[in-house]
A and B are shown apart, each in its own frame.
Chain A
């Protein structure tokens, strides 16, 4: 794959901290984390709730800026980007999916998937094909004129994945993508993510608290606790 020739890792975190001040006390959501995610890796970020794994994901996504430390996303130092450039990074380099899908309820599935194309100012004539391609990748080509509420949770998450893919990102970030789904549907979604990673050659980072699922699908596990990265060396394949 072409991207393998690129020597930069997909994501490199160097001594990242993110502190929130809540009233008088300061909360260290992320505390001195360093991590390298190579291109094409499927990484699972594990940890109990409040361990800082979602905050770390938001920092990788460029939705938040660290209190200290440096983040390189696709070779770019996010700290040096203006807010407009950071928005471009989110738009073109990152695809995001969420636990609660976050589809816009009054838009049809097609329109939801089209939204990032609008933000990226992709030509109207090109959009239909791009939307169809993304929906085909998640194997959802029927009921595209329906509203999200008319679909099952698993279908909604597949639409959300299609929306994340439509701008052809290099990194897919998923925040508890199976949290609102039953176990078999959750497995199907993770299978889909793994397949997509292989088809497209994306880097995938999944935040989850379900260790057994993570062990089945991820290349590597990174465990967080109290804002610190406890262990990022566990290669699942090595364990197996």
Chain B
């Protein structure tokens, strides 16, 4: 039979036992819905997690340090083998990194522990400089107030815990001024004071530390800790634009190391640089090219890989649970079609007497199974999407009560919609295999025998 006639007959047959076939189709729909809902939760959670993680800057940032920055202690032999001095991590290197493909920004870490005065009360805290690229990273989506007006503004964003220390109502801090007291490094000429010559004999200079003050306007309070952890800003509670922070020349912890190494000469070097890639997928190649330039480079890509593995397994488990309902629905299709064979014995006999081949009868039952699968698939995707929305809605109602930000818990991407419908049809066809071959094998003489 031609496909159109086959489909026409199949749909007609399905309509003849409309209740039973509708219930069977609904069974398939429920099965597909549970599968779609489960997988949409899996996908949604994965997207949520990877969004959070990319906001944290953990996985798109490469942390670069000069080679052998501690000499002697760890690897004395290798040190002896190569006489070449390690390449310094200076402004020149920074410019080279910036020219690499897929690099958004290269920035040094500026973080120092200092004292802040607010309402004439001293508070000890960690101050960190924020690179401009963090504006768009999404880490400040939940900010109260706004992001820095310019990369060189004298403005501060406070972390919520610190803001709570300053005032009972953190929101009231917006627009107020806070005084940053810090120690400025001031280079001492080589020929200068005797203190330097005794500290580092081969150094051309050292520095003295001069207390300074800077007034910053509080423009934002942020709840999350952007880019906390590795390569990030640690426990910084007061965030300011990186360029503003750089102009302070505030004394940092690693300055002491420079003195010990004696490389803190007239050239500015960085203890470390963070290289931010456009996306985590480019980190591996970037890391390799930075290493080939003669620096140490680290990233947490491996951790992200194992996270992806985790989600694959998680999705698989959700998929298996979701498939259970579909498996039950499959049995429903088998049952319905086997019942239909018993009912339509005579009709099958007539079709064969009129010249239908076994193949025609088989295809007819096959198409009936397929149509139920297709309809069930469409309905199921719709139900599953609704179920996902409902779960998201319920979760967000709960989160709102807990004064937390809403999240997008379930996500139904295109591939999931198409895959679910295709899967439903395939599973239905498999379910139709046995009934179809049984119907095809029906002996027409027996089927037509007058009862």
The digit string for A188-221, where 1 denotes a CB below 8 A from any CB of B, is 0000000000000000000000000000000000
Instruction: Check B352 against A90 for contact (C-beta < 8 Å).
Output: yes
- Residue A92 lies at the interface, judged by CB distance under 8 Å to chain B: yes
A90: nearest chain-B partner, CB-CB: B355
B347's partner among A63, A84, A104 (CB-CB below 8 A) is A104
A230 vs chain B, min Cβ distance (A):
23
Given contacts A63-B445, A98-B448, A102-B448, contact A91 B354 (CB under 8 A): yes
Instruction: Check A96 against B357 for contact (C-beta < 8 Å).
Output: no
B4 to chain A: which residues have CB within 8 Å?
124
Interface of B is mostly: helix
Instruction: Check B352 against A87 for contact (C-beta < 8 Å).
Output: yes
The digit string for A30-72, where 1 denotes a CB below 8 A from any CB of B, is 0000000000000000000000000100100101100000000
Segment at the B interface, from A8-16, A111-119, A128-136, A149-157: A111-119
- Residue A99 lies at the interface, judged by CB distance under 8 Å to chain B: yes
Taking CB atoms and an 8 Å cut-off, the chain B residues in 1-54 that contact chain A are 1-2, 4-5, 9, 12, 16
- Residue B444 lies at the interface, judged by CB distance under 8 Å to chain A: yes
Instruction: Check A96 against B352 for contact (C-beta < 8 Å).
Output: no
- Residue A83 lies at the interface, judged by CB distance under 8 Å to chain B: yes
B1's partner among A64, A90, A118, A124 (CB-CB below 8 A) is A118
A110 vs chain B, min Cβ distance (A):
14
Instruction: Check B450 against A100 for contact (C-beta < 8 Å).
Output: yes
- Residue A88 lies at the interface, judged by CB distance under 8 Å to chain B: yes
The digit string for B341-371, where 1 denotes a CB below 8 A from any CB of A, is 0000011011111111111100000000000
A94: nearest chain-B partner, CB-CB: B355
- Residue A121 lies at the interface, judged by CB distance under 8 Å to chain B: yes
- Residue A178 lies at the interface, judged by CB distance under 8 Å to chain B: no
- Residue A4 lies at the interface, judged by CB distance under 8 Å to chain B: no
A118's partner among B9, B347, B349, B357 (CB-CB below 8 A) is B9
Taking CB atoms and an 8 Å cut-off, the chain B residues in 348-402 that contact chain A are 349-360
Instruction: Check A64 against B445 for contact (C-beta < 8 Å).
Output: yes
Instruction: Check B358 against A83 for contact (C-beta < 8 Å).
Output: yes
Complex Cα–Cα for A116 and B4 (A): 15
- Residue A74 lies at the interface, judged by CB distance under 8 Å to chain B: no
Q: Which of A84, A96, A115, A118 has the most CB of B within 10 A?
A: A118
A150 vs chain B, min Cβ distance (A):
17
Complex Cα–Cα for A84 and B44 (A): 52
Complex Cα–Cα for A26 and B214 (A): 111
- Residue A158 lies at the interface, judged by CB distance under 8 Å to chain B: no
B355 to chain A: which residues have CB within 8 Å?
87-88, 90-92, 94, 116, 119-120, 167
Complex Cα–Cα for A116 and B9 (A): 13
Instruction: Check A83 against B357 for contact (C-beta < 8 Å).
Output: yes
- Residue A163 lies at the interface, judged by CB distance under 8 Å to chain B: yes
Instruction: Check B356 against A119 for contact (C-beta < 8 Å).
Output: yes
B354 to chain A: which residues have CB within 8 Å?
90-91, 96, 115-116, 119, 163
Chain B residues at the A interface, C-beta cutoff of 8 Å: 1-2, 4-5, 9, 12, 16, 346-347, 349-360, 443-445, 448, 450
Task: List 4 extra interface pairs beyond A98-B353, A106-B16, CB under 8 A.
Answer: A83-B358, A90-B352, A119-B351, A121-B5
Chain A residues at the B interface, C-beta cutoff of 8 Å: 55, 58, 61, 63-64, 83-84, 87-88, 90-92, 94, 96, 98-100, 102, 104, 106-107, 115-116, 118-121, 124, 163, 167
